[in-house]
Amino acid sequence: MRIALAATCIADTLFPAAPQAVVRLLERLGHEVVFPAGQTCCGQMHVNTGYVAEAVPVIRNHVRTFAPVADGEWDAVVIPSGSCTGSVRHQQAMVARRVGLDELAATAEAVAARTFELSELLVDVLGVTDVGAWFPHRVTYHPTCHSLRMVHVGDRPLRLLREVEGLDLVELPAAETCCGFGGTFAFKNADVSGAMLADKTANVRATAADVLTAGDMSCLMHIGGGLSRQRSGVRALHLAEILASTREDPTPLPAATFSEMTTA
């Protein structure tokens, strides 16, 4: 398949190792990955903060960039983020329609229909749960709120992780409770956010996992930021980084909490 990658603004800038891993993984599985150069961001940050007018040009840019998928130029768009996938599916067209841009809304819906979160793409579209990965570490998985409740990925990420050779998957207590990130919530309600984070990191540490993984770098930035502050030794890796890891080309455990980009 020809698959267009929407890297997400946060991973593009702060965590390039995550989209790099998506490329490694999908190419290993025999697919062609393209990175449409016009992409920036899905617009969710602006919408969720109440800056709808400012979100419109960002959304327009995303829709224009990925519109070729609706014409069959690519078979699918993959986003390594439940949150951004949720925004593409549930916000973009709604916002466009609210400001009277019906044509943009229609294109947004067409793009959204061919856009998949990573675990959805693998399990539903590509039909694989065993991606041939090897990752010999103790791992716990945090189901991010938007992947769980907006995109409904269900247990797809866990099914993928269970097939990874050498991986010791340990259940995260109170896994489905929000980590307290919430975008600007972490700033506007820093104290409540910090209290939620404290509970989440305590649960992560209780698993004695080497690695915390999730499908969203934004939530991982938050929880990982807490784990880093506590000098817990737990690494925060995107699901793609684990699924991309093989015996021949293993994903190394980073020296600190987050991965440095690979140099390949």
Residue 142 CB: number of other CB atoms within 10 A? 26
Q: Give the contacts of 224 (CB within 8 A, at least 6 positions apart).
A: 212, 235, 236, 257, 258
Sheet of 2-5, strand order: 32-34, 2-5, 76-79, 115-117
Helix orientation angle between 52-66 and 102-113, rounded to the nearest 10 degrees? 50
Distance CA 88, CA 238 (A): 20
Q: Is the dihedral of CA 205, 207, 213, 217 positive or negative?
A: negative
Contact 192, 166 (CB under 8 A): no
Judged by DSSP in three states, 202 sits in helix
- Smallest gap, in angstroms, from Cβ of residue 183 to another protein? 8
Residues numbered 71-100 forming contacts with another protein, rule: CB under 8 A: 90-91, 94
Taking the least distance from each CB to another protein, the nearer of 35 and 124 is: 35
Site membership for another protein, residue 221 (CB under 8 A): yes
Tell me the residue length of the chain: 264
Binding segment (CB under 8 A) for another protein, from list 59-67, 104-112, 121-129, 208-216: 59-67
The residue (of 130 and 176) whose beta carbon lies closer to another protein is: 176
CA angle 136, 262, 4 (to 5 degrees): 100
- Choose between 246 and 257: whose C-beta lies nearer to another protein: 257
Q: Is 39 in the site for another protein (CB under 8 A)?
A: yes
Number of residues interacting with another protein: please give it, by CB under 8 A.
76
Binding flags for another protein, 97-136, as an x/- string (CB under 8 A): ----------------------------------------
Q: Can you tell me which of 143, 157, 182, 215 binds another protein, judged by CB under 8 A? A: 182
Rounded Cα–Cα distance for residues 76 and 66 (Å): 10
Q: Which is nearer to another protein, 136 or 194 (CB)?
A: 194
Instruction: Kindly tell me the burial class for residue 213, based on how many C-beta atoms sit within 10 Å of its own C-beta (0-12, 13-18, 19 or more).
Output: buried
Minimum distance between the CB of residue 81 and another protein, rounded to whole angstroms? 13
Distance in angstroms (rounded) separating the CA atoms of residues 80 and 82: 7
Please say which residue, 129 or 189, places its beta carbon nearer to another protein: 189
Whole-number minimum distance, CB 163 to another protein, in Å? Answer: 26
CA separation for the pair 168, 165 (Å, rounded):
9
The binder of another protein chosen from 70, 126, 164, 197 (CB under 8 A) = 197
**Smallest distance, another protein to C-beta of residue 144, A:** 9
CB of 104 to another protein, least distance (A): 13
- Looking at 97, 185, 205, 250, which residue binds another protein (CB under 8 A)? 185
Task: State the binding string over 133-162 for another protein (x if CB under 8 A, else -).
Answer: ------------xx-xxx------------
User: In the set 71, 103, 171, 191, which binds another protein (CB under 8 A)?
Assistant: 191
Choice between 107 and 228, CB closer to another protein? 228
